[in-house]
C-alpha cells in the first residue's frame, strides 16, 4: 500500500495524520483517482494537505516518490502511437472493479516495462496490453483503479510534471511574505486573563436572560469575570545601514505590528547595529530623540514580551569593545554585548528576529556576531515561519 509515501510526506514536513491517510485509502477504493497519476496527485493533495503553505513540500515529496513511475518520453511516444485510435471510454461495474485493488506502484512499473518488451503493436479493448478502452492497467480511457495513464486526451499533463512545476512555491511559509501573513502570525500572540481570577464585575446579559427565563420570568442576575488580552509587546528594531536591504520586510512587520490591535500595550524602539547606553525613539537614531537604556529597562516591566529585529551583523569590535560604537560622535563605556545580556536578563520573554535567512547565518559576513548574539537571544529568521516559531517561544518563559 505504498505506505512509505506517507512517511516520505512526513519527512518532507507535510503533517499528514492517520485519519487523513485512511480517508485517502477510502477515496482510492471509491475510484476517485480516475486511474491516472494526475488524478491521484490531485486526490492525495486535496485529502492529505491542509494548507497551501505545504503544497510545495507535497510537490517535492510527490516528485521524489513518483519520479521513476512517470514514463520516459521515448517510451511514451511509442505507446502514444498505439493509443491514437481510441475506443470509447469503458464503464465498469463495482464487482469487476474490486478485482483490481492492487496498488503497488513499483509492481505496476515493473509490469509496464515487461509488457513493453513483449508488446509489438497497437492494441485496443483488452485487459492486458497497452491500449485504449480496456481494463489493462496501462493506457487511457480504460478502467483500472490502479492503472498508469499513458497520454490520453482528458488530462494531458503528467502529474509528476505538475509536481515538478512547483507553482505553489510562493506559499511556503519559510518564504518571506507580506503584511497580512505577519498579522495572522501575530494574532497567535495572546494570553487571555483567566476567567477564574478577578472580581465578577461584568453583567452577563446572556446568562441573565437564560437564568431568568429558566426561573419562569423571575429576574435573576448573572455576573461574569471579564477576559482581556494581557500581552504587552516591545519591538526593538535595528535601523542601521546593514539593514537597508531588508527595509521592505521590516516595514511589513512594522505595519503588521501596528495594526495588531489586540495587544494591551505595544512600544517601538530603535538601535543602530547594537544596543549601548542609549536607545532611540525613532528610526533616525539621533541622540536628542533617545532615552538611556538604563531607564528603558526601569520603565518597562519584565513581563513585556521583547521582539528584537536586526541582522546581528557587525564588526566584532562593535559588539565586544568599549567605544566600539559605530557612530563617530558617540562613545560607550561598556561593550554592547553586556547591554544585550542585561536586556535579555531583564525581560522574561525575548526573541531575536533576523531578516537574514537562517541557512546563511554561518556564512554571511556577520557570522561571528550572529553566533555570539544567538547565545544570548533565541534567534529566528524573519519569515512567517520564523515569526511563528518565535511567537511560540514568546509564550513560554525562557
Site residues, another protein (CB under 8 A): 15, 17, 19-20, 23, 26-27, 30-32, 39, 42-43, 46-47, 49-52, 55, 155, 167-168, 171, 179, 184, 187-188, 209-210, 212-214, 216-217, 240-242, 244-248, 273, 311, 313-315, 326, 365-366
- CA dihedral sign, ordered 374, 376, 378, 381: negative
CB nearer another protein, residue 110 or residue 169: 169
- Distance of closest approach, residue 168 Cβ to another protein, in angstroms: 7
CB nearer another protein, residue 8 or residue 326: 326
What phi, psi does 292 have (nearest 5°)?
-70, 140
CB nearer another protein, residue 110 or residue 157: 157
Question: What 3-state DSSP class applies to 143?
Answer: coil
Angle between the N-to-C axes of helices 55-66 and 37-48, in degrees from 0 to 180, rounded to the nearest 10:
140
- Distance of closest approach, residue 270 Cβ to another protein, in angstroms: 16
- Distance of closest approach, residue 338 Cβ to another protein, in angstroms: 21
- Distance of closest approach, residue 23 Cβ to another protein, in angstroms: 6
CB nearer another protein, residue 272 or residue 349: 272
User: CA 341, CA 126: separation in Å to the nearest integer?
Assistant: 76
Question: What 3-state DSSP class applies to 162?
Answer: helix
C-alpha closest to that of 138 among 40, 215, 35: 35
- Distance of closest approach, residue 119 Cβ to another protein, in angstroms: 31
What phi, psi does 230 have (nearest 5°)?
-105, 10
CB nearer another protein, residue 103 or residue 123: 103
CB nearer another protein, residue 247 or residue 345: 247
User: CA 226, CA 198: separation in Å to the nearest integer?
Assistant: 8
- Distance of closest approach, residue 113 Cβ to another protein, in angstroms: 29
The residues, ordered by sequence, that sit 6+ positions from 257 with a Cβ below 8 Å of its Cβ are 182, 186, 233, 235, 266, 268
Amino acid at each position: 500500500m505504498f505506505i512509505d509515501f506517507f512517511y516520505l510526506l512526513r519527512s518532507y514536513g507535510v503533517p499528514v495524520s492517520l485519519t487523513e491517510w485512511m480517508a485517502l485509502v477510502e477515496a482510492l477504493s471509491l475510484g476517485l483517482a480516475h486511474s491516472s497519476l494526475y488524478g491521484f496527485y490531485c486526490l492525495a493533495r486535496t485529502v492529505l494537505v491542509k494548507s497551501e503553505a505545504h503544497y510545495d513540500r507535497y510537490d517535492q515529496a510527490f516528485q521524489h516518490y513518483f519520479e521513476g513511475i512517470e514514463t520516459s518520453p521515448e517510451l511514451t511516444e511509442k505507446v502514444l502511437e498505439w493509443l491514437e485510435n481510441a475506443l470509447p471510454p469503458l464503464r465498469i461495474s463495482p464487482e469487476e472493479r474490486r478485482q483490481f485493488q492492487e496498488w503497488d506502484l513499483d509492481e505496476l512499473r515493473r509490469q509496464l516495462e515487461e509488457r513493453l518488451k513483449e508488446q509489438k503493436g497497437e492494441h485496443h479493448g483488452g485487459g492486458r496490453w497497452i491500449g485504449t478502452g480496456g481494463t489493462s492497467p496501462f493506457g487511457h480511457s480504460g478502467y483500472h483503479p490502479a492503472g498508469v495513464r499513458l497520454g490520453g486526451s482528458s488530462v494531458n499533463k503528467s502529474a509528476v510534471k505538475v509536481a515538478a512545476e512547483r507553482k505553489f512555491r510562493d506559499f511556503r511559509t519559510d518564504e518571506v511574505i507580506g503584511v497580512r501573513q505577519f498579522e495572522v502570525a501575530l494574532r497567535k500572540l495572546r494570553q487571555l486573563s483567566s476567567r477564574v481570577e478577578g472580581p465578577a464585575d461584568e453583567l452577563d446579559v446572556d446568562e441573565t436572560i437564560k437564568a431568568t427565563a429558566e426561573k419562569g420570568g423571575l429576574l435573576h442576575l448573572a455576573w461574569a469575570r471579564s477576559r482581556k488580552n494581557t500581552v504587552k509587546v516591545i519591538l526593538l528594531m535595528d535601523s542601521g545601514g546593514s539593514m537597508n536591504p531588508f527595509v521592505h520586510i521590516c516595514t511589513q512587520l512594522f505595519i503588521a505590528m501596528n495594526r495588531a490591535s489586540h495587544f494591551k500595550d505595544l512600544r517601538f524602539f530603535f538601535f543602530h547595529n547594537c544596543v549601548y547606553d542609549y536607545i532611540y525613539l525613532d528610526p533616525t537614531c539621533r541622540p536628542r530623540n533617545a532615552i538611556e537604556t538604563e531607564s528603558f529597562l526601569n520603565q518597562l516591566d519584565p513581563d513585556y514580551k521583547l521582539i528584537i529585529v536586526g541582522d546581528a551583523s557587525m564588526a566584532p569590535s562593535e559588539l565586544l569593545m568599549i567605544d566600539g560604537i559605530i557612530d563617530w560622535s558617540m562613545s560607550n563605556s561598556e561593550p554592547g554585548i553586556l547591554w544585550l545580556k542585561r536586556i535579555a536578563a531583564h525581560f522574561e520573554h525575548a526573541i531575536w528576529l533576523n531578516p537574514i535567512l537562517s541557512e546563511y547565518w554561518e556564512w554571511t559576513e556577520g557570522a561571528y556576531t550572529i553566533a555570539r548574539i544567538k547565545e544570548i537571544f533565541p534567534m529566528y529568521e524573519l519569515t512567517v515561519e520564523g515569526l511563528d516559531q518565535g511567537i511560540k517561544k514568546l509564550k513560554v518563559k525562557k
